[in-house]
């Protein structure tokens, strides 16, 4: 396994396309090609060395390569550029803007923007992820006018009456983090997310005193309330510092690096920051490899920019 101490070493190693393709085959297939169309392991390499053909002649018999049905399919960029983007985005704690990435990799801002969103698509937390044991939960308001982030506007946030440009992020954290953009912070909305992400009723939930969390004590083994309104920040061993710290990093990245994030794409940025949090205990090289292994799937430009 190739290890990289920094971006310079990575770009030097992936200086030619064949090296990149070989590395991708190793990470996605573990060296054993699999047909992306039907899943058959009966495949053979064609004479050009890059293409494969499925041996399942009755139901498939299609040609493919390691890029098929991945984020790199039909790309006009060298894989070395893609790999550089993956390394930079996942290694930078607060992310990197498309303008800066474009300058660093020698591509246009538009291309860098598209590449970054495709990497965010790669690392998104599965909808099937579950948390248990002891889970901190909190919600935060991202974007919109500064006056609407004041405590006096929390009632409006809970009722979903904030400006359309606003975004409400609901976070749940233990050893791993899940962040979901929600339309409002009303009790039914937050409880629906909690029930899906925390199905184990033996879990201890830790929240602040927000009214939407009232009743969690009837659903779970325990519900610890940290009453910030009374300057309470810890109850025994319990606190909400971890989820609040995660939100702090998210906001510093959005306000300091990206400056503007539309409500449409806010979830993608949440996925980016959650991925770095969830892989915080491994080094940049290992995080790069982990991300490359998640390259399957497509995100077309037309789908990315279409109105929702």
- For 56, 70, 170, the CA distances from 73, given in Å and listed in that order, are 22, 6, 33
Q: Provide the edge-to-edge strand list for the sheet that holds 43-45.
A: 43-45, 52-54, 63-64
Indicate the pLDDT class of residue 308, thresholds 50, 70 and 90: low
Calculate the average pLDDT of the chain.
Answer: 90
In a domain, 172, yes or no: yes
Which among 277, 270, 137 has a CA at the least distance from the CA of 210?
137
Indicate the pLDDT class of residue 233, thresholds 50, 70 and 90: confident
Indicate the pLDDT class of residue 2, thresholds 50, 70 and 90: low
Over residues 195-210, the mean pLDDT reads 96
Bridging pattern class, strands 134-142 and 167-173: antiparallel
The pTM score is 0.88
Are 226 and 244 in contact, with CB atoms under 8 Å apart?
A: no
Which among 68, 62, 67, 27 has a CA at the least distance from the CA of 42?
62
The pLDDT value recorded for residue 269 is 95
**Looking at the 3D structure of the chain, how many domains does it have?**
1
Secondary structure class of 96 (helix, strand, coil): coil
Q: What is the CATH number of the domain that holds 208?
A: 3.30.420
In a domain, 177, yes or no: yes
Are 280 and 132 in contact, with CB atoms under 8 Å apart?
A: no
The residue whose two tokens read 């050009």 is 48
Which among 39, 6, 67, 131 has a CA at the least distance from the CA of 298?
67
Over residues 71-91, the mean pLDDT reads 96
Are 19 and 83 in contact, with CB atoms under 8 Å apart?
A: no
In a domain, 11, yes or no: no
Q: How many Å apart are CA 200 and CA 183, to the nearest integer?
A: 25
- For 176, 264, 265, 301, 308, the CA distances from 305, given in Å and listed in that order, are 30, 9, 10, 6, 9
In a domain, 83, yes or no: no
C-alpha gyration radius of the chain: 22
* 141-195 pLDDT per residue, tens: 997 544 344 455 556 555 555 554 568 999 999 999 999 999 999 999 999 999 9
Q: How many Å apart are CA 90 and CA 67, to the nearest integer?
A: 21
Are 131 and 172 in contact, with CB atoms under 8 Å apart?
A: yes
The residue whose two tokens read 């090609």 is 33
In a domain, 104, yes or no: no
DSSP string, 262-274: -TTTHHHHHHHHH
Does 90 have pLDDT greater than 90? yes
Q: What is the total residue count of the chain?
A: 308
Helices marked H in the chain? 7-13, 17-29, 79-91, 98-105, 109-123, 154-158, 187-197, 241-253, 266-278, 284-292, 301-305
Q: How many Å apart are CA 131 and CA 173, to the nearest integer?
A: 8
Q: Domain of 233? A: 134-263
Nearest 10 degrees: Cα torsion 169, 189, 262, 179: 30
Q: How many Å apart are CA 68 and CA 37, to the nearest integer?
A: 9
Indicate the pLDDT class of residue 1, thresholds 50, 70 and 90: low
In a domain, 212, yes or no: yes
In a domain, 227, yes or no: yes
In a domain, 173, yes or no: yes
Tokens matching residue 285: 């090289």
């Amino acid at each position: 396994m190739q290890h990289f101490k920094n971006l310079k070493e990575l770009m030097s190693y992936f200086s030619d396309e064949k090296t990149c393709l070989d590395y991708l085959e190793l990470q996605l297939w573990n060296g054993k090609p699999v047909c992306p169309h039907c899943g058959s392991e009966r495949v053979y390499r064609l004479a050009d060395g890059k293409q494969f053909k499925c041996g399942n002649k009755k139901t498939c018999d299609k040609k493919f390569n390691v890029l098929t049905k991945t984020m790199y399919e039909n790309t006009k960029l060298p894989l070395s550029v893609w790999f550089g983007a993956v390394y930079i985005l996942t290694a930078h704690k607060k992310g990197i803007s498309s303008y800066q990435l474009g300058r660093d990799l020698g591509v246009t801002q538009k291309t860098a923007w598209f590449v970054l969103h495709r990497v965010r698509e790669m690392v998104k937390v599965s909808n099937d992820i579950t948390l248990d044991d002891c889970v901190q939960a909190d919600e935060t308001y991202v974007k919109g006018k500064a006056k609407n982030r004041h405590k006096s506007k929390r009632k409006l946030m809970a009722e979903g009456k904030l400006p359309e440009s606003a975004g409400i992020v609901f976070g749940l954290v233990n050893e791993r983090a899940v962040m979901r953009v929600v339309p409002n912070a009303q009790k039914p909305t937050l409880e629906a997310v909690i029930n899906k992400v925390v199905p184990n009723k033996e879990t201890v939930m830790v929240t602040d005193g927000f009214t939407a969390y009232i009743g969690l004590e009837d659903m779970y083994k325990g519900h610890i309330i940290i009453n910030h309104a009374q300057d309470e920040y810890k109850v025994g061993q319990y606190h909400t510092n971890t989820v609040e710290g995660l939100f702090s990093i998210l906001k510093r990245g959005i306000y300091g690096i990206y400056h503007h994030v539309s409500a449409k794409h806010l979830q993608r940025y949440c996925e980016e920051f959650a991925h770095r949090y969830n892989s915080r205990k491994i080094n940049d090289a290992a995080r790069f490899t982990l991300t490359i292994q998640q390259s399957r799937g497509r995100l077309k430009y037309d789908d990315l920019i279409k109105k929702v």
